[in-house]
Amino acid sequence: MNDEQLNQQLKQEFAKQKSQNRLTKAQLAQFKTACKKPKNNAIWPNIQWMCASIGAVFLAYLLFTQSQSTMQPLYTLNLNNYQQIEVHSIENGQYHLSFTSQKQQLDQAMVQAAQIIKNAYQGHGRLIEKQTGKWFIADCKQQTLLEINTELVAKLIDKHKVKTQAVGTLLTFKRNPQGQLISLSALEAHSTEQCG
């Protein structure tokens, strides 16, 4: 059996089935009315397409703006990216090295150094003993015992308050850069400072 004979048999069988299974006029009319009805467009798929389109446009916008801001050559000179800059040169036959630091770092370092200096020149202690001509004050932070004669105490504290200072009183003192005491006073009762 060749292809032409097979095709002929298929066509005959199709024609036979078609003539046997004809649609009635009522079925045909029903199909025609179903096809002529206006299609009921659901709103949900339209909303999904609109949201997806807006999202795609927004994503494209973000990618475009991000690529514009980061499109710099790989090697660019931007001094703000460096914390410290070293300058090496030869001047008059001598090698010369200088450093340049960012101003923000220098300002922060200066504030920290000022705080350290302030803490170094200021301390708290407890009056642990009063003897004739001497006061003994235990420094809270540095675990140092300060022995101060009463003449110096009289100069550092108001004369009316010298006699009222009792053993156990929490005191604050300040020093100058040479380490000499320049101020001595009692902390108020409501002060949060403590000495262990």
Asked, for residue 68, whether it belongs to a domain, the answer is no
Q: Does residue 148 lie in a domain region?
A: yes
Instruction: For strands 122-131 and 170-175, give the pairing.
Output: antiparallel
Check residue 33 and give left, alpha or beta (phi > 0: left; psi -120 to 50: alpha): alpha
Which residues form the domain of 144?
123-186
Confidence at residue 31, expressed as pLDDT on a 0 to 100 scale: 84
pLDDT score of 192 more than 60: no
- Could you tell me the two tokens for 109? 């370092």
pLDDT number for residue 12: 92
Classify residue 74: in a domain, yes or no: no
Q: How much is the pLDDT for 121? A: 74
CATH number for the domain including 144?
2.40.50.140
* Total structural domains within the chain: 1
Query: Which residue, 128, 167, 166, is CA-closest to 147?
Result: 128
Residues 124-150: tens digit of each pLDDT: 888 888 888 888 888 877 677 888 888
Structure token pair of residue 22: 């004809």
Give the pTM.
0.39
